[in-house]
Structure 1
C-alpha cells in the first residue's frame, strides 16, 4: 500500500532539505580549521553531492530487496545519530586536520557530511518505491517527488542562509536537525510496526545527549559565531591592554584598548608611515576587522567611513575591542564592493583595503574593475593602500600589483626584502596613486618602523603577472600554487 501522497511529499521535502542544511552548516563547521576558501567550498559541495549520489543509489538498491516500510524509520534514525555526532567529530578532528592542505580539507568535509547526507538521501528512493503501484503514472510520481525534493533543498538553502545562520550557532542547527530527524524516524518506525525497544530508545537518547554534551565541551575556536566568521578575542599576556582578534582561527587584528596609536602588525606600521608623508582628511576603509587603523586615525582626520561585511563582527568590536563610532567614524555594513559603488566620486584622499576571508583577499575585491571604482572614489592626489598576504610563490601579490598598476600611474610594493625575493610568506602593502610617490621618502619612512621593509616599483617587480578581472580572478589557485 503506497504512502499518502502528502506524507510521501513531506518526507522527501524534509530529507532533501536536511541534506542542504547540513551542507551549508558543514562549511561553517570546517571553515575555522581549514579556512573559508574556494577549495573548502568545493570540497564541501563535492562531498555533499557524492553523499547524495551514493545515498540515492544505495536507497534504490535496498528498496528493490527489502520492503521500504522496514527501512524508512531506520534510515531516518541512523541519519539522526550520525548528524548528532557531527559537531564533536569535526571539532575534535579539526584540531588535528588544521591547515589548507587538500587532504585535510577533503577529510574534514567527509567527516562533517558524508554519512548523515548519504543516509538522508536514501529516503527519496525508498519513498518513490512505495508510491509506484501503477506503472501508468510512474513518470508523474517520480517527477512530482523529484520536484518536491528540489523545493525542499531550495527552501532549506534560503532558510539556512538567510534565517537560521543569522540567529542560531551552527552546533545548535545541527543538533536541531538531528532531533527532528530522530522524531520522524521514531514515528515512522511505530507507524510501520517496527517497534523500537526500550533499550533502543534509551540508546538513541544516550547518543543524542552524549553528542550534545561532547559538542558543548569539544574544543571550539569560537567565542562568537557571526553570520560570516568564527570569532574570538584573546588578551596579550605581555600587554594587559592588548587584544587579538581571531577570525576563523587566523590572527586577524590587534588592538590596544588603552593606546589606539599602538600598532602591533608590521603592515599597519608600513601603511601609517607612508600615509604620514601625505596626511589625509577623508578616509575610506574597505574592511573593518578589529578597526585598528580607524581607531589610529580617529583623532587626526576629518571623516572616516568603514565598509564592513559582518555586522556581528562590528557588534563584537563594540563590546570587546573598544570601538566607538560617531559623526567622524561611521560604519556601513554590507558587501564592500556593493557599498563602494555608492561612494561619491572624488570624495576621499585615502582608501585602505584590508578585507580578508581567512587569509585571502576576496576575489571580487582584487580585480581591475574594483580598482577602477577605488580610483573613481579617490581624489586626483589620493592614495590607495592595499594589504595582501602571499607565500614564497608570490603569484597572487604580483598579479594584484599588476592589476592595480593597470589603473594607477604610480604603484609601489612594500614588504620585507626576503618576502619580495620569494624566500618566505609575508604581508605585502601595495601603495598606489596618480600623484607622484616619493620612493626615497617612502623607503626611508618604512625603514624606521620596528619591522623594516623594502620598497620596490610594482610594474618591474610584477613582470608579466596576470591581470585579475571579474571574468577571471583565480585568487585561491594563485595563492595555493
Structure 2
C-alpha cells in the first residue's frame, strides 16, 4: 500500500514535498513492520473525551482548508459557482477516499492503527503547507493546457487540495473504532464521535469564514492548520507507544519547515479581505502622472488616473459615465452606484458636477483602497458597506435619479441583482424620470445572458436599450454592454467618449434587441436565475 502512495505523491507534488510526505508515512510503516504476529502492549489509556476532541479538532481543521481553498483559487480562476462546486466536490472526494483507507487501518491492532493515523496526519500537514507553494506553480500550466473553465478549475483543485483532504479523512474511522472498542457503551461512544465530527466541521467553517481568512489571510491560516496536524500526528504516535516516534518528529519538523516556506512565499494578494483578494497595479507611463489598476480576485475592476478623474479607461466605465449624464433629468442629479470597485465612475461623475452620490460597496477594504490608491474623496459620497439589495430594502425612503449596477464577482453579476424582483425594487427607488444602467458581459455568438436581462427588465420598465462599442466584434469575442432602462429613450443613439482614446459607442437597434430577447432570453426571477450558466466563461 505504501509504494503506490509514494508514487502518487511524487507524481503530484515537487520532490521536497513528496520526500517529506513519504517520510511521514515511513514513520508509521517502521512501527508496523516491527510488529510481530502478537498484538503489542495496549496503547496508552485513551479516554473518550480525548478521542472526541481529536475528531472534532481534525474535522474543524479540514473544513478550514476547504474554505481557504476557494479563497486561494480566486486569484487564478475567480470566485464563481464553478469554483465552489469544484472545491466542495474534490474535498469531499478526498475525505471519502481517506475514510475508506482509514477503515482499512481500523482493522489493525489499536497501536498499529494509531501509528498509521499519525503518519497520515503528518502527511496532511506536509500537503496542506505545500498547497500554498504548489498552487502558484501549477495554476498557469494547468489553465493553459485545460482551457475549459469547468475542467480547468476541477483539475487545478484536484492537484492542490485532494491529498490534504485525503489524509485528513483517515483518522475518523480509526478513532471511531477505538472509541467503540474501549468504551463501556459502544452506542453512545459512536454517537459522540459522529457528533464531534459534525460540530468540528461547523466550527471550522465558521472560523475560516468569519475569523481566520479576514484576520490571518490564507497562507497563515493554512500554517495554523499545518501546526494542528503536526501536533495531532505526534500525539497519535505517542498514544501508540510507537518506536518510530523519533522519525515522526523528523517528519513533523519537515512539515514545520514547509509551513515556514509557505509564509515566506510571495503573497498572491496585496490585501486579503473577508470578501476578496485585492491588488493594485501601477500602469503609469509617467511616475508624475500615476494611473492605477484595481484587480479584485483575478478580474480588473477599474482604472483611474490621478489627474484625469473624468477619463474612463474601460469601455463599460465610459458608457456608464456618459449615459448617466445623457439621461440625467437635472444637472445636479442624484446617483446610486451598486458596486464601488475602484470608484472610477462615481469619481468622474462628481468631477463633472453630479449631485448627491451614494455607493453600495460590500467590502470596506475596497473602499479604503479606492480612497488611498484611486484618489476618491470619501467625504463626497455616502458609502453603504452592505449588499445593495438589503440596503434598498432597509431604506424605503431613498430615491435616485440614476442607478448604476456595476457589481461583479468573477465576470458574473451576483444572481440576486439580476432578477425581476430586484429590478422592481430598483424601480421603486427611482424618481419618475430616473434611469437604471447596468453592465453586462456576454459572448458575441451566445448573448443568452444579455437577452435574458433585457427580457427581465422589460417586465418592469417601458424602455430598455442596449449600448456597446460601435465596431464589428470578432466571431465569438467577449463583449461588454451597457443596458439602460427607464421611462423614455436616450436622446441620442450614438456618442463619443474617452476610454481612454476617443471611442464611439452606439445603441443596438430596437428590432434586433427585441428579437434577441425573444429568441434567447428568459425571465430571471428569485426562484430561477441561472446567470452563471448564461454569462459564464466559454468552454
User: What TM-score, normalized to structure 2?
Assistant: 0.83
Query: Of 530, 536, 539, which aligns to 1:474?
Result: 530
Q: Which residue of 2 aligns with 1:235?
A: 282
Quote how far apart the aligned CAs of 1:13 are.
Answer: 0.2
97 and 251 in structure 1: CA distance in 2 versus 1, 3 angstrom threshold: farther
447 and 434 in structure 1: CA distance in 2 versus 1, 3 angstrom threshold: farther
Q: Which residue of 2 aligns with 1:24?
A: 67
- Return the alpha-carbon distance in structure 2 between the equivalents of residues 7 and 445 of structure 1: 71
- Return the alpha-carbon distance in structure 2 between the equivalents of residues 434 and 421 of structure 1: 33
Quote how far apart the aligned CAs of 1:362 are.
Answer: 0.9
Query: Of 330, 333, 337, which aligns to 1:285?
Result: 337
132 and 207 in structure 1: CA distance in 2 versus 1, 3 angstrom threshold: closer
Tell me, yes or no, if structure 1 residue 431 matches structure 2 residue 479: no
Query: Of 198, 222, 226, which aligns to 2:269?
Result: 222
Q: Which residue of 1 aligns with 2:137?
A: 92
**1:322-361 alignment, distance < 5 Å:** 322-326=375-379, 328-345=380-397, 347-361=399-413
Tell me, yes or no, if structure 1 residue 254 matches structure 2 residue 310: no
Q: Which residue of 2 aligns with 1:275?
A: 324
Tell me, yes or no, if structure 1 residue 49 matches structure 2 residue 92: yes
- Return the alpha-carbon distance in structure 2 between the equivalents of residues 445 and 275 of structure 1: 14
Tell me, yes or no, if structure 1 residue 391 matches structure 2 residue 440: no
Structure 2 spans left out of the alignment, 5+ residues: 1-41
SS at structure 2 position matched to 1:355 = coil
Tell me, yes or no, if structure 1 residue 13 matches structure 2 residue 56: yes
376 and 420 in structure 1: CA distance in 2 versus 1, 3 angstrom threshold: farther
73 and 332 in structure 1: CA distance in 2 versus 1, 3 angstrom threshold: same
Quote how far apart the aligned CAs of 1:319 are.
Answer: 2.3
Quote how far apart the aligned CAs of 1:20 are.
Answer: 0.7
Aligned length: 477
- Return the alpha-carbon distance in structure 2 between the equivalents of residues 16 and 144 of structure 1: 14
Q: Which residue of 2 aligns with 1:442?
A: 493
Quote how far apart the aligned CAs of 1:111 are.
Answer: 2.6
SS at structure 1 position matched to 2:466 = strand
CA RMSD in angstroms comes to 2.4
Quote how far apart the aligned CAs of 1:51 are.
Answer: 1.2
> In the alignment, is the contact (CA less than 8 A) between 1:232 and 1:247 conserved in 2?
yes
- Return the alpha-carbon distance in structure 2 between the equivalents of residues 64 and 114 of structure 1: 24
- Return the alpha-carbon distance in structure 2 between the equivalents of residues 42 and 475 of structure 1: 15
SS at structure 2 position matched to 1:133 = helix
SS at structure 1 position matched to 2:230 = helix
Quote how far apart the aligned CAs of 1:229 are.
Answer: 1.2
> In the alignment, is the contact (CA less than 8 A) between 1:260 and 1:295 conserved in 2?
yes
> In the alignment, is the contact (CA less than 8 A) between 2:302 and 2:344 conserved in 1?
yes
Range 259-268 or range 451-460, more displaced: 451-460
Query: Of 347, 354, 376, which aligns to 2:428?
Result: 376
446 and 402 in structure 1: CA distance in 2 versus 1, 3 angstrom threshold: farther
> In the alignment, is the contact (CA less than 8 A) between 2:401 and 2:434 conserved in 1?
yes
Range 114-123 or range 194-203, more displaced: 194-203
- Return the alpha-carbon distance in structure 1 between the equivalents of residues 494 and 221 of structure 2: 52
Quote how far apart the aligned CAs of 1:78 are.
Answer: 1.5
Q: Which residue of 1 aligns with 2:516?
A: 461
Q: Which residue of 2 aligns with 1:58?
A: 101
> In the alignment, is the contact (CA less than 8 A) between 2:293 and 2:300 conserved in 1?
yes
Larger Rg over CA atoms: 2
- Return the alpha-carbon distance in structure 1 between the equivalents of residues 409 and 201 of structure 2: 26
Q: Which residue of 2 aligns with 1:405?
A: 458
**1:169-208 alignment, distance < 5 Å:** 169-196=217-244, 198=246, 201-208=249-256
> In the alignment, is the contact (CA less than 8 A) between 1:221 and 1:248 conserved in 2?
no
SS at structure 2 position matched to 1:453 = strand
Range 180-189 or range 195-204, more displaced: 195-204
Quote how far apart the aligned CAs of 1:400 are.
Answer: 1.2
- Return the alpha-carbon distance in structure 2 between the equivalents of residues 197 and 188 of structure 1: 10
> In the alignment, is the contact (CA less than 8 A) between 1:298 and 1:329 conserved in 2?
no
Q: Residue by residue, what CA displacement relative to the aligned partner does 1:12-69 show, whole Å, maximum 9, x if unpaired?
A: 1011111110000000011111111101100000111111111111101121135323
> In the alignment, is the contact (CA less than 8 A) between 2:126 and 2:254 conserved in 1?
no
SS at structure 1 position matched to 2:403 = strand
- Return the alpha-carbon distance in structure 2 between the equivalents of residues 134 and 212 of structure 1: 39
Structure 1 spans left out of the alignment, 5+ residues: none
